[in-house]
Amino acid sequence: MKETLRIIVPCFNEEANIVDFYHEAMKNEGYFADNDVDIDICFVDDGSTDNTLAEIKKLIKKDKRVCFVSLSRNFGKEAAMYAGLELKDGEYTVFMDADLQDPPSLLPEMFEYIKQGYDTVATRRVGRKGEPMIRSFFARCFYKLMKKISKTEIVDGARDFRMMTLQVSDMIMEMPEYNRFSKGLYGWLGYKTKWLEFENVERRKGETKWSFWKLFSYSLDGITAFSTAPLRMASILGLLFCVIAFIFILIIIVRALVFGDPTAGWPSLVCIILLVSGVQLFCIGIIGEYLAKTYMEVKKRPIYVAKEIGYDHYSSSDF
Ligand code: UDP
Ligand code: MG
């Protein structure tokens, strides 16, 4: 029986890239046909405000291997990838960006490794050509920090561009957490993984959808989802300050008994109060971050809301 490779493509305002992506991806059609594998391209329109959905619908009319799900608003790339998984079944899955920064020409090589028995083939880009220096700097710091504070392996430069077997994609769907950080989820899952490296490619058309702050908040998601080290740091800091305070109390009592009690010394007192209350607020903030994440999880809201789906030449909004 023929198997299927589903290519899941999250798209947020990518009208200029949809058709190019389709043609580039389908260049691999021959290779996969030789391996008895059909290709399905599953676009996820992540609440685009431009003509992305119209472009996808044009393709779906021409080729029934194209399918889509359109979300009711912008839910973010992680939610979009999850929506793609639920759209259609497939023995093999690969996630790819619409802007052709994940070269479709790598697909055959990735599939060869799957055939050799790897459960998942992941990619990491080497070099961050074309990226602002400050962004590369913070990205490097983030990965270094994660390595220190998390037991889960999160690889520097790892892309979401990853091919996997049905077992792995099913396990990803078994993890319906709200604060999603895929790179960590794969690390947590384990499985036999082959890493491929490729030189960074600049996006074909359009602009990046990730502002610095969006990335910063995503990295906080990564830290809170895969490490509780900041919480421990808060308690250790608290303990440390208790010890220091205790020593100071002893010193002050002894000094008062021996030398009497001069009233001078309020500047140092103010400094101590400021420092300690700062540290306290910082620690409460850390606890707040985790509390907020827990709060979002216990609500058990759906990860995304689908407004419209379409496959096999057919498009429907009534479900
Ligand atoms: N994307 C998405 N929802 C978002 C942001 C991005 O579906 O809220 C998609 C986007 O359309 C693209 C992919 O995720 O296909 C990667 O985004 P982008 O190229 O902007 O990120 P970068 O490559 O600059 O990290
Ligand atoms: Mg990109």
Predicted confidence at residue 268, as pLDDT, reads 74
The rounded Å distance from CA 203 to ligand 2 centre is: 5
Angstrom distance (rounded) from CA 168 to CA 39: 18
Ligand 1 site, residue 209, Cβ cutoff 6 A: yes
Mean pLDDT by 10 residues, the chain (319 residues): 91 92 91 90 93 90 89 92 90 93 91 93 80 80 83 81 93 86 85 87 77 82 82 82 82 81 72 80 83 82 87 59
The rounded Å distance from CA 319 to ligand 2 centre is: 32
Predicted confidence at residue 128, as pLDDT, reads 67
Ligand 1 site, residue 10, Cβ cutoff 6 A: yes
Three-class HEC string of 97-157: CCCCCCCHHHHHHHHHHHHCCCCEEEEEEECCCCCCHHHHHHHHHHHHHHHHHCCCCCCCC
Ligand 1 site, residue 142, Cβ cutoff 6 A: no
Element (H, E) at 227: none
Predicted confidence at residue 319, as pLDDT, reads 47
Ligand lying closest to the C-alpha of residue 96: 1
Cβ atoms 92, 113 nearer than 8 A: no
Predicted confidence at residue 316, as pLDDT, reads 58
Q: Which atom of ligand 1 is nearest to the CA of 98?
A: 15
Predicted confidence at residue 5, as pLDDT, reads 93
Predicted confidence at residue 23, as pLDDT, reads 92
Predicted confidence at residue 129, as pLDDT, reads 67
205 three-class SS: coil
